[in-house]
Amino acid sequence: MGAQQEEAGTLPRPIFRTKSRWTAVRWAELPGFEDDALFEAWNAWIKSCERPGPVFAPLCSEVRRLSIGDESQRRAWLQARLQPYRVDTLAGDTEGLLTAYFEPVLDAARGPSAQFSVPLYQPPPGLAQNSPWYTRQQMDTSAPVQAALKGREIVFLADPIDALMLQIQGSGRVRINQPDGSQTLVRLAYAGSNGQPYKSVGRWLLDQGAVRDASWPAIKAWVAQNPSRMNELLWSNPRTVFFREEAMSALDAAWGPKGAQGVALTPGRSIAVDPGSIPYGTPVWLVSHGPSLNLQKLVLAQDTGSAIVGAVRADYFAGWGASAAELAGRLKQPLRLWVLWPK
């Protein structure tokens, strides 16, 4: 009854963030709120409670306790403890853009060979002090830059486009072929970048009229037809990413990589946001309808990305493997967001 009484009361004032304005709304305004499988989001929320910010830390004991509750108890708790706010731009726009990202799964080798010749690197010495560092083209062509990277190779991939994709996604799983014929699965996690601006190779192809569809399959098809222009394509994006290797247990393999909040991502329940609009660890009601997906669900803001900029902007973590890659390649549709903030 208390939640219903509050629902009829005066709404709180708007909250202003650096890049967004939050407008308080009634729970009834959240599309699909009664229909979501909240237990799936609860797993992601418990992950956030491993590294909660000061606003949500006091709620974490209750969140953990509700992991064994039922859906009606979780819903009632949300309404009693949190206030929904619609996320608007500072100019008052309520609609933004949803895209998706994924964790690639690729074959690799420890040393270079005719088949595996594309290196992925640990950060070079002094990277942070020399930002921005050299461009992708300089890394491929300059002898002094290559000397600085010598010995920093973690693994070698077979396909430069796969390496680019893994750098853009920020992390990935690699299956390393061992001399005895067995395979070891490890995660390559984001460990830094060269500080250069990100430029979309898909946009570069579209601007030239080279493709109509800038998905990864289309980019690979274009490269297969234009092998002599491979480097031109790669060098159109001066930004590159460096990695660190992480061992993967069976338990690790059930979760995604760690996002910017420092906790493992949950497929379908973690999003990357602009932290100037939404702080890490915030539960968010996400609504997006389009040809790829219809979503009305509770997600957690646990990551960010160089292309995730603006108030109503999110990147949806799709998971790993072929189906996640396919969704991430095509998802680009309208988005509305509501943050759920402690009362």
Residues 241 and 137 grouped into a single domain: yes
Which of 253, 286, 303 delimits the end of a domain? Answer: 253
Give burial (CB, 10 Å; 0-12/13-18/19+) of 102.
Answer: buried
Residues spanned by the domain of 56: 2-100+255-342
Kindly list the distances between the CA atom of residue 225 and the CA atoms of 110, 159, 217, 218, 326, in Å, as whole numbers in the listed order. Answer: 29, 15, 12, 11, 22
Q: Tokens representing 153?
A: 């190779």
Residues 66 and 7 in one domain: yes
pLDDT band per the 50, 70, 90 thresholds, residue 8: low
pLDDT in tens, 264-302: 999 999 999 999 999 999 999 999 999 889 999 999 999
Residues 225 and 111 in one domain: yes
The residue among 138, 160, 141 whose CA lies nearest residue 239 is 138
In the structure, what pLDDT confidence band is assigned to residue 305 with cuts at 50, 70 and 90?
confident
DSSP conformation class of 53: -
Query: Cis (ω within 30 of 0) for the bond into 14?
Result: no
What is the pLDDT, as a whole number, of residue 165? 93
- Both 18 and 109 in a single domain? no
Based on the domain organization, do 243 and 274 belong to the same domain? Answer: no
Same domain, 23 and 94: yes
Domain end residue (candidates: 233, 253, 273): 253
Domain shared by 307 and 207, yes or no: no
Identify whether residues 244 and 116 lie together within a single domain. Answer: yes
Is pLDDT of 5 > 70?
no
β-bridge pairing 313-320 and 270-272:
antiparallel
Number of domains, the chain: 2
Alpha helix (H) ranges present in 14-159? 38-48, 60-65, 71-81, 136-141, 143-149
pLDDT at 251 over 50: yes
Task: Specify whether 246 is located in the same domain as 202.
Answer: yes
Are 199 and 153 members of one domain? yes
pLDDT for 4 equals 46
What pLDDT sits at residue 263?
Answer: 97
Domain end position, chosen among 205, 233, 253: 253
Q: What pLDDT score does 9 carry?
A: 82
Q: Which two tokens stand for residue 92?
A: 């008052």
Q: Which two tokens stand for residue 8?
A: 């009829």
- 216 pLDDT higher than 50: yes
Q: What is the CATH number of the domain that holds 25?
A: 2.40.40.10
**What CATH number does the domain containing 169 carry?**
2.40.240.50
Rounded CA separation 301/35 (Å): 21
What is the per-residue pLDDT for 52?
Answer: 96
Same domain, 95 and 236: no
96 and 107 in a single domain? The answer is: no
pLDDT tens per residue, range 37-69? 999 999 999 999 999 999 999 999 999 999 999
The model carries a pTM of: 0.86
Residue 46: the pLDDT is 98
